[in-house]
């Protein structure tokens, strides 16, 4: 089969990690007889530098002409919050999510066996394992609500961000969560703040309706503050965790941290139409950009998610995941995950080793 992939290499370490991921895709193509072609798409701080805005016209159209999008990382201090919105990389990221209809953000957080020692939690807790899937609503809520900033008479300047959710938005992300749970350990935890927020009460009522439909899936509600606590107390209790946009942003960082290796975690953003967008969870790490130090594994594992969720190629996905595990099991580490006394390898070498395992 032929698949066309849009490449957003982006800023900082983005280009380096995308190059290694493309190398792994080539190895997968060779082993399984697929042809991957690529189209470079300019987005983020590098686009601001090149043409003055972070989200060039036509970006969404170019991406829509492809079967999937692979994104390295965008952002950096050079294009900070003091810059106008159209120059900030974050603006482009939110715009592409919205324009491609990518309402479901899947962020798996699991403890890979060779790296169990990297888990910062108590040994007894880590031993129970971590294997959860954070399902974050990605195109609604406070991220996309109306914003305002105005002068008041007696309280100085005031600012507002509106958080809105519709039944439609909640139901479609909820269904994704239940469907995913059916393929996993059949448990959904829905996270909200229903003791305070009206949007959360609506969220909860829609989730309860779905829970009655998916009777084979265990269901629970957890308040967001409690969830933050449970993630460090006993993360093994979670299978699929579904939540709104901002709670998901915060909890997914926490979930990745407890695995001790944010450099390893991939993500998928999908909607009802093609293409899905795949990217590592980590940022652009400008401090180590261009030095062959970045860990390409999260981006490589993002291509495995691409195989699974966009191309429906589970064997290809597990070939990539097995290759990564095999390289880690042999003790190879990039600097971010190297235990003391282990000499780290570079970005390119890590990519080469994983490619070789895919082909082995
Ligand atoms: C993420 C990031 C983005 C978000 C930022 C960069 C806008 O933190 O993907 O989690 O908040 O969604
Ligand atoms: Mg975030």
Which residue has a Cα nearest atom 1 of ligand 1? 249
Q: List the beta strands (DSSP E) in 234-323.
A: 240-243, 266-270, 276-280
Comma-separated ranges of CATH 3.30.420 domains in the chain? 120-131+139-241
How far the first Cα of the chain sits from its last, in Å, is 21
Q: 120-131+139-241: what CATH class?
A: alpha beta
Q: How far is the CA of 326 from the centre of ligand 1 (A)?
A: 31
In Å, what is the CA distance from 137 to each residue of 101, 103, 171, 307? 11, 6, 11, 22
Q: How far is the CA of 123 from the centre of ligand 1 (A)?
A: 30
Return the ∠ at Cα 164 (arms to 159 and 167), rounded to 5°: 180
From the list 107, 126, 137, 8, the residue with the least C-alpha distance to 63 is 8
Ligand nearest the Cα atom of residue 143: 1
Best CATH choice for the domain 1-114+259-360 from the list 3.40.640.10, 3.40.50.1240, 3.40.50.300, 3.40.718.10: 3.40.718.10
**For the range 156-163, what are the long-range contacts, defined as Cβ-Cβ under 8 Å and sequence gap of 24 or more?**
163/197, 163/199, 163/246
- Considering the entire predicted model, what is its pTM? 0.94
pLDDT in tens, the chain (360 residues): 899 999 999 999 999 999 999 999 999 999 999 999 999 999 999 999 999 999 999 999 999 999 999 999 999 999 998 999 999 999 999 999 999 999 999 999 998 878 888 889 999 998 899 999 999 999 999 999 999 999 999 999 999 999 999 999 999 999 999 999 999 999 999 999 999 999 999 999 999 999 999 999 999 999 999 999 999 999 999 999 999 999 999 999 999 999 987 789 999 999 998 899 999 999 999 999 999 999 999 999 999 999 999 999 999 999 999 999 999 999 999 999 988 899 999 999 999 999 999 999
Comma-separated ranges of CATH 3.40.718.10 domains in the chain? 1-114+259-360
Which residue has a Cα nearest atom 7 of ligand 1? 90
* Residue 5, pLDDT score: 98
Is 81 strand, coil or helix?
A: coil
Positions marked catalytic: 143, 193, 225, 249, 253
């Amino acid at each position: 089969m032929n698949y066309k992939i849009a490449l957003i290499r982006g800023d900082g370490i983005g280009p380096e990690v995308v190059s290694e991921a493309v190398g792994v895709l080539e190895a997968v193509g060779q082993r399984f007889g697929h042809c991957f072609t690529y189209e470079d798409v300019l987005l983020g701080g590098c686009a601001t530098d090149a043409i003055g805005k972070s989200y060039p016209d036509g970006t969404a159209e170019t991406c829509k002409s492809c079967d999937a999008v692979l994104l390295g990382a965008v952002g950096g201090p050079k294009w900070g919050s003091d810059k106008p919105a159209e120059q900030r990389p974050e603006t482009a990221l939110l715009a592409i999510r919205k324009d491609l209809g990518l309402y479901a953000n899947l962020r798996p957080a699991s403890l890979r066996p060779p790296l169990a020692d990297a888990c910062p939690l108590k040994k007894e807790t880590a031993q129970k394992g971590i294997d959860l899937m954070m399902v974050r609503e990605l195109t609604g809520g406070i991220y996309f609500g109306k914003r305002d900033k105005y002068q008041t008479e007696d309280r100085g300047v005031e600012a507002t961000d509106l958080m809105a959710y519709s039944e439609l938005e909640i139901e479609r992300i909820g269904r994704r969560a239940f469907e995913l749970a059916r393929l996993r350990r059949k448990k959904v935890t829905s996270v909200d703040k229903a003791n305070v927020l009206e949007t959360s009460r609506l969220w909860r009522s829609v989730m309860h309706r779905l829970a009655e439909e998916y009777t084979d899936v265990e269901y629970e509600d957890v308040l967001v503050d409690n969830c933050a606590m449970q993630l460090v107390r006993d993360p093994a209790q979670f299978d699929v965790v579904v939540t709104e946009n901002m709670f998901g942003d915060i909890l997914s960082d926490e979930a990745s941290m407890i695995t001790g290796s944010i450099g390893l975690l991939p993500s998928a953003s999908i909607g009802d139409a093609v293409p899905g967008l795949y990217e590592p969870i980590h940022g652009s790490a400008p401090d180590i950009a261009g030095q062959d130090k970045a860990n390409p594994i999260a981006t490589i594992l993002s291509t495995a998610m691409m195989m699974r969720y966009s191309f429906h190629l589970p064997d290809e996905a597990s070939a990539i995941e097995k290759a990564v595990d095999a390289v880690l099991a042999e003790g190879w580490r990039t600097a971010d995950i190297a235990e003391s006394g282990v000499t780290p390898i570079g970005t390119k070498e890590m990519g080469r080793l994983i490619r070789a395992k895919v082909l082995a």
